[in-house]
Chains A and B, each alone.
Chain A
Amino acid sequence: MAPLSSLNRRGRGVVFLLFALALTALLWGVTFRSSVATEPLPAAGAASSLAASKREWQGVASCASTACHGGNGPKGSKGSEYTTWVLYDKHTRAYNILFDERSKIIEKNLRHLKNVTSAHAETDDLCLRCHAMNAEKGPQRESFVRDFGIGCESCHGTAQEWLGVHYASDWKSRNDEDKRKLGFQPMKQLADRAQLCVTCHVGTADKEVNHDLIAAGHPRLNFEFGAFQAIMPKHWREEGENARPDFEARAWAVGQIASARAALELLAHRSRSSAEPWPEFAEYDCFACHHDLREPSWRQKPGHYVGRTPGSFPWGTWYYAMLPQALRGSEDKGNGRVSSSLSELKKEMEKPSPNQNQIAERAREVRAQLGRLLTEEEKRHYEQTAVESWFQSIRKDEQKTAAANWDGAAQVYLALAALYNALGDMDPGHRDARMRDSLKARAKPLEFPNGYDSPREWEPKGNNDSK
């Protein structure tokens, strides 16, 4: 570049102007933008917070001030999100439960410790990844404590970069992509919400409850998004599209697809990883094995072992039982392909020693198909007649789904309950005492007896609805 002295006055002016602009831009950037480099956009529904978060955790206390989210107002009211959550939500217990007797037994069994006194689940990374904030021990504010369990940032995203801007007037007008760049996890869309929940409640490569852990004492993960969301004490209000009365029906369908998708990703990981046991028992129907031997046995009745060798393991009885119904709204092509891919997968998984490469490939394939269908389902809305016929179709289909095992029967019940709730929201006249009672009667036999984590007395029965 020519020295300034050689330029004419006009040229010098241009250079000076450019320099000034550059300086302004630099100053603006420094003052108004975070100095921390922004993270690449996390993939939808991805995995774990372990994925390179160098953002500083602020901690629940940061959100809890009376002026912000700790308003002490009525349950679920605006401004009292923290109040609602801390008083009613089980997620608050997630960390402290690691100090319980049962957690100690799990830790002792899993890590081969001599006794429970030397068992400290609260220091075990495997536990912390689902049961605590900042399990990966990234940067955290001085006031951050773990005792709040699964707190605000676990779902809403580590707050360092968005804390200061999320109460500004322009926050609501920003789109989701921009928010994500700051580490914020948008949750208005049901698909986003479900995909976040499943990272712990179904699992991922890093956050996995497999049969080793279950045998050590950990409860089984059988997640159902619609039901779990319905009983979670909501610290928010549904708005916009979600405020429409078909919400429960949409939540159910979206949740089923998101859960199945997460389960398939987990299966793909399990089948490829040499560190994981194979076959992985948690992929199969728990109660196909975990039942007392009985005489007489309903499993030996004709019709039970149809299509499989007596004594073989039924695969995927929880996450995939209702998938065909959940995909009812999609175009036939998508639905048909998913069903046939799943039945191929099932056939392979039910062999004594399933081919790991084939499983990984197929699982990834179906997962990709479900990804597309999930995006579609999120946008779909249902009229009352559609939900009514959905309800009836599930009941008619029931023998196929629920006949053979508790998992299917439970999933049918949860599906009917979700659609019944949607129908009630769409038309209060649908809040029919008879239907409600018959749903309750359906739920009763599904309950585990006292002292058991398995359905000791359950047997497949005929359709017992009164309608």
Chain B
Amino acid sequence: MSYRKMQFWLVAIVGMAVLTGFMSVPGLGQQPKANPGAEKKAGPTLLYFGVAACRNCHTNPDNLKDSPPLLCRCNEVVIWEKEDKHKDAYKNLSGPRGQQMAKLLGIMDVAKERACVACHGIYIPPDKVKELTDPASFKVEEGVSCVACHGPYAEWVTRHGSPLQRDRDAWRGLSRQAKEEQFGMTDLWDPAKRTNKCASCHIGNSEEGKVVTHAMYAAGHPPLPGVEVSTFSDAMPRHWQYLKEKPAAAQKLLEYNPAELEKTKLVVIGGVADLQDAMRLLATQAQAMLKVTPPENRSLDLAQIDCYACHHELKVPSWRQSRGYSGVPGRPQFRQWPLALVKLGMRHAGQEKQIPEFEKKLSVLQEAFNAQPFGKLDEVVRTADDLAKWCAQLETSLGQKNVQYNRAAAISLLRQLCAMSETEVQDYDTARQMAWAFKTIYSELDSKRSNDSEVQAKLKALDNELKLSLPSGQEHQILAELPIALRKISDYDPSKVQHVFQDLAKLLPPK
């Protein structure tokens, strides 16, 4: 070979090597640490990114003038940072309430305690920080940040924000399921999955260490309220749009059907997912308790019991005593509010005939709590697990394409909510679920109807009884509103709420 030819090949080889090196260098705003070997493992690679990893794209639409995104507004970080409380969740641990709880519970540092940080931030065991976090971006002080909900996995973060258009186009082409299963991006468009994600903190999740215990409540943790996902999302405020709110081009791409009421769908499916999560928590907590020694410590943690079954002043006359008890008087039941919307879901899925079977399962669980104060643990495990599975199949049915969430369905759901109030006496949180559901579903109907102002007046009456408004955003603080919130609970009179629902029934449009 000639010297010249050798030079050529030398340069070519070195050049290719350099180019390959550059290709693997971090792209625009991304800091992937994934090693090539990662794809060989089953499933995506766990890696926690901080907000910095998302900020460059999701802060300012002007950043992406050249290739404007279609599906999102790309101002999500701005909304989350400026308006959403989730950002301050971790900081609250160092506040006076967090410190009070630490003292009473004998916790050295709440900011390092899994039981606290699992919900109030992102908990990484100290010895795994190096392995599991992205050093360029992860900051635990950021609280409940992006990946907490969207999925802490290297693969999707790299792909969907790739500097190369063709990568991003390929990403868009994937199904939501593929995005989640192969790349780890949580499918938050799915109402059930969204609810499961919210509920993992807002109801609890044993496997993820997200459990508020009764000792924590006694030490000062505000009581966890009932959760209606669409209402809570709006209160965040949500940094995403319903399809209805998106630009026409996005709607076309996502096959938006204007006749489908998205919020209603979320209310119905979310209502079932709430029960699923509540039952899973109950089953896992009871299961864990079965293993506790010595046996004197073996009793279901009281946080799994309906708070206000015990925590009420003894009023005379008592609406509980007038209502009577389905089981033995004075045996507190598990939390009831997750049951509020489930039968609505069953009827909507065409499973009306299976309601008696569901009720039978439910009564077995109730019996477990009647048989023994705080529940017979093994019975609780078995039946709560069973009910969780029931909910899972119901969610799948409700998510099928043939199940419609149209105007007629919405009106039927509203009627059912009013009818519920006639046949049962609801506790505070259950009534609140019903009221939120009603409010949300109604809001998707045509508001130019003639008696809308009367309905709004009734909804205001419900708000007055139940405090439907949440301490939303960063303006309103949970602790600041807690005195009023707790007062509403203690003053709650079920008959007042029942009357309002009866009035609402008369104001509904005809079928």
Q: Quick check: is B126 within 8 A (CB to CB) of the other chain?
A: no
Does any Cβ of B come within 8 Å of A354's Cβ? yes
* A351 is an interface residue with CB less than 8 A from chain B: yes
**B350 at the binding interface (Cβ < 8 Å):** no
Q: Are B330 and A311 in contact, CB atoms less than 8 angstroms apart? A: no
Which stretch, A188-196, A222-230, A273-281, A389-397, touches the partner chain B? Answer: A273-281
Chain A proximity mask over B119-143: 1 for CB below 8 Å, otherwise 0 = 0000000000000000000000000
- B10-27 interface code vs A (CB 8 A; 1 in, 0 out): 000000000000000000
Out of B219, B296, B314, name the residue touching A453 (CB < 8 Å): B314
Chain A residue with the shortest CB-CB distance to B321:
A217
Contact call B331/A277, Cβ cutoff below 8 A: yes
Known contacts A302-B103, A310-B218: A293-B296 contact under CB 8 Å: no
Tell me, in angstroms, the Cα distance from A324 to B448 when the chains sit together. Answer: 73
B312: chain A residues at CB < 8 Å are 290-292
Whether a CB of chain B sits under 8 angstroms from the CB of A31 is no
For the complex, give the distance between the alpha carbons of A109 and B330 in Å: 10
**Interface residue? A33 (CB, 8 A):** no
With an 8 Å Cβ cutoff, the count of chain B residues facing the other chain is 43
User: How does the 8 Å CB contact mask read for B449-476 relative to A, with 1 for contact and 0 for none?
Assistant: 0000000000000000000000000000
Per the 8 Å Cβ criterion, residues 322-378 of A in contact with B are 348, 351-355
Closest to B223 in A: A293
Report yes or no: B219 in contact with A105, Cβ–Cβ below 8 A: no
Interface digits, B308-326 against A, CB 8 Å rule (1 contact, 0 not)? 0011111110100110110
List the B side residues contacting A292 at CB < 8 Å.
Answer: 311-313, 486, 489-490
In the complex, identify which listed stretch (A129-137, A168-176, A208-216, A244-252) lies at the interface while the others stay far away: A208-216
A214 and B330 contact, CB distance less than 8 A: yes
Q: Mark A427-455, 1 if CB is under 8 A from B, else 0.
A: 00000000000000000000000011110
Selected contact of A300 from candidates B219, B302, B372, CB within 8 Å: B219
Cβ-defined partner of A212 (8 Å) among B217, B219, B330: B330
Q: Check if A452 sits within 8 Å of B296, measured CB to CB.
A: no
Secondary structure class of chain A's binding surface, majority of residues: loop
Chain A residues with CB under 8 Å of B316's CB are 451-453
A310-B101 Cα distance, complex, nearest whole Å: 10
Cα distance A430–B458 when bound, in Å?
A: 63
Say which residue of A216, A293, A351 sits within 8 Å of B329 (CB atoms): A216
B100 adjacent to A293 (CB under 8 Å): no
The residues of A that contact B331 with a CB separation of less than 8 Å are 212, 215, 277
User: In the assembly, what is the distance between CA of A286 and CA of B313, in Å?
Assistant: 10
Task: For the complex, give the distance between the alpha carbons of A353 and B479 in Å.
Answer: 33
B residues near A99, Cβ cutoff 8 Å: none
B329 in contact with A212 (CB, 8 Å): yes
Chain B 216-252 near chain A by CB (<8 Å), digits 1 or 0? 0111101100000000000000000000000000000
Contacts of A354 in B (CB 8 A): 296
Interface size class, chain A: 35 or more
- From B217, B313, B482, A311 is in contact (CB under 8 Å) with B217
Shortest Cβ distance from residue B343 to the other chain A in the assembled complex, whole angstroms: 23
B486 to chain A, nearest CB (A): 5
Of residues 223 through 264 on chain A, the ones whose CB sits less than 8 Å from some CB of chain B are none
Whether B324 contacts A452 by the Cβ 8 Å rule is no
Residues of B close to A214: CB separation below 8 A = 330
From known contacts A292-B489, A293-B223, infer whether A352 and B299 are also in contact, taking CB-CB under 8 Å: yes
Check if B164 is an interface residue, CB within 8 A of chain A.
no
> Is residue B73 contacting chain A, with contact meaning CB distance below 8 A?
no
CB atoms of A310 and B329 under 8 A apart? no
Known contacts A214-B330, A453-B314; decide if A352 and B218 are in contact (CB<8 Å): no
Report B361-377 CB contacts with A as 1/0, cut-off 8 Å.
00000000000110000
Are A293 and B103 in contact (CB-based, < 8 A)?
Answer: no
B322 adjacent to A291 (CB under 8 Å): no
* A353 & B299 in contact (Cβ 8 Å cutoff): yes
Assess the A294–B486 pair: CB atoms within 8 A: yes
Contacting B at CB under 8 A, from A283-312, are 286, 289-297, 299-300, 302, 305, 309-312
Known A108-B324, A212-B330, A311-B215: A290·B314 in contact at CB below 8 Å? yes
- The answer, yes or no, to whether A456 is at the interface (CB within 8 Å) is yes
CA distance A277 to B331 in the complex (A): 9
A166 and B372 alpha carbons, distance in the complex (Å): 50
- Is A97 in contact with chain B by the CB < 8 A criterion? no
B328: Cβ under 8 A from any A Cβ: yes
Report the bound CA distance from A279 to B373 in whole Å. Answer: 7
Q: What is the chain A residue whose CB lies nearest that of B220?
A: A300
C-alpha spacing A211/B316, complex, angstroms: 17
Query: Is there an interface contact between B373 and A277, defined as CB atoms closer than 8 Å?
Result: yes
Do residues B325 and A215 form an inter-chain contact, with CB atoms below 8 A?
Answer: yes
Q: Which residues from 163 to 184 on chain A have a C-beta closer than 8 Å to any C-beta of chain B?
A: none
B313 adjacent to A452 (CB under 8 Å)? yes
Give me the interface of B with A, judged by CB distance under 8 Å. Answer: 100, 103-105, 214-215, 217-220, 222-223, 295-299, 302, 307, 310-316, 318, 321-322, 324-325, 328-331, 372-373, 479, 482-483, 486, 489-490
In the A-B complex, the 8 residue pairs with the smallest Cβ-Cβ separation, listed nearest first, are A215-B330, A311-B218, A352-B299, A310-B218, A292-B490, A215-B329, A453-B314, A289-B310
For the A-B complex with A216-B325, A295-B222, A353-B297 known, give 17 more contacts whose Cβ atoms are closer than 8 Å: A105-B321, A108-B324, A109-B324, A215-B325, A217-B318, A278-B372, A289-B310, A290-B310, A292-B486, A292-B489, A293-B223, A296-B483, A300-B100, A300-B219, A310-B219, A353-B295, A451-B315
